[in-house]
Amino acid sequence: MAPIGGKKAKKGILERLNSGEVVIGDGGFVFSLEKRGYVKAGPWTPEAAVEHPEAVRQLHREFLRAGSNVMQTFTFYASEDKLENRGNYVAEKISGQKVNEAACDIARQVADEGDALVAGGVSQTPSYLSCKSETEVKKVFQQQLEVFMKKNVDFLIAEYFEHVEEAVWAVEALKASGKPVAATMCIGPEGDLHGVTPGECAVRLVKAGASIVGVNCHFDPTISLQTVKLMKEGLQAAGLKAHLMSQPLAYHTPDCGKQGFIDLPEFPFGLEPRVATRARKEYWENLRIASGRPYNPSMSKPDAWGVTKGTSMLMQQKEATTEQQLRELFEKQKYKSA
């Protein structure tokens, strides 16, 4: 995160990517805010941007401090048709426009506390799932796009699409803005729900106008990476180029089927045992085979380093820890874990 100071022109998303930068996004807002009591499981709609803006702002700020370069507007499922779907009160009592405007304002405020960009996001719609026409579905996206243009977001994301046909319609609608468009699908290696392969999905999205394509939300980092690889191969075979992105789940999903974690019996309230930790690679590589107690993955063997007064690694020094000292520490950890 860049320090707060005098304002300067920010590099755009494509400028950053074209120069070789790795751009870090945010995400997981509906799950994080549901756990905090600000989003209702089931609808997963973002009215908290209006009703509890301080909660949304705080989560954006946490992502910014963690290193995110993009603040994505909290507009997941914020289309007018979703906000009035199955008894949802938001469209009538608040309005989709107010939700989208509030989300844009919050994202911009936090983005300007650092060097982050703002991305306006749209997602799959009840209109498409209800078999409405291309014109009707695009009109839903255009309603959100009007707000994004008014609020001058930096670029646009079409995210969380299970059908490439609808994702293409979203990209085409957003591309009319003249701003860069990214598109992600919530698919795994098997492709979309109509059987279109990841490679073909990527090709169609790029031909529709997306500069960035990838996956999000239904699978863990490992499976998401496999899917992005298939997308990359599809683009190469078609002679097309695009930047690639991945917004994986923070849950392990090796046993998931075509629709990912939403089909798990643990979804959505029992997923915590699947949380992907921040452990170092060496930890996982040295896990003992689950062949029986007392030492298996269910019962760890403490390292028992035995460090105490006088041990070199505890001695105070004004200088920063050196590379050599770190190597010695990691080697010791590796030895103890073996």
Binned at pLDDT 50, 70 and 90, residue 217 comes out as very high
DSSP string, 144-162: HHHHHHHTT-SEEEEEEES
DSSP 157: E
Nearest to 75 by CA among 51, 104, 55: 104
- Could you give the CA distance from residue 288 to residue 300 in angstroms, rounded to a whole number? 9
Residue 3 has a pLDDT of 42
- Could you give the CA distance from residue 204 to residue 199 in angstroms, rounded to a whole number? 9
pLDDT tens sequence across 294-312: 555 556 666 666 778 888 8
pLDDT tens sequence across 129-151: 999 999 999 999 999 999 999 99
> CB-based contacts of 285: which residues, under 8 Å, 6+ apart?
none
Higher pLDDT, 331 or 195: 195
Region 242-269: mean pLDDT is 96
**Percent residues over pLDDT 90 in the chain:** 80
Q: Quick check: 178 pLDDT over 80? A: yes
Domain boundaries, the chain: 13-286
Nearest to 168 by CA among 115, 196, 217, 208: 208
Residue 250 has a pLDDT of 94
Residue 330 has a pLDDT of 77
- Within 10 Å of residue 295's Cβ, how many Cβ atoms? 12
- Could you give the CA distance from residue 38 to residue 49 in angstroms, rounded to a whole number? 9
- Could you give the CA distance from residue 97 to residue 210 in angstroms, rounded to a whole number? 25
Q: How far is CA 227 from CA 50, 124, 146, 201, in A?
A: 35, 20, 32, 11
Lowest average pLDDT, out of 85-94, 284-293, 313-322, goes to 284-293
Q: Quick check: 199 pLDDT over 50? A: yes
Residue whose tokens read 């026409």 = 133
- Could you give the CA distance from residue 81 to residue 96 in angstroms, rounded to a whole number? 9
Region 13-21: mean pLDDT is 98
Nearest to 127 by CA among 112, 144, 117, 139: 139
Q: Quick check: 292 pLDDT over 90? A: no
- Could you give the CA distance from residue 86 to residue 306 in angstroms, rounded to a whole number? 61
Residue 281 has a pLDDT of 77
CATH number corresponding to 13-286: 3.20.20.330
Q: Any binding-site annotation on 256?
A: no
Pair of tokens at residue 203: 């090709």
> CB-based contacts of 311: which residues, under 8 Å, 6+ apart?
none
Higher pLDDT, 298 or 68: 68
Report, in this order, helix, strand and coil percent for the chain, each rounded to 5.
45, 10, 45
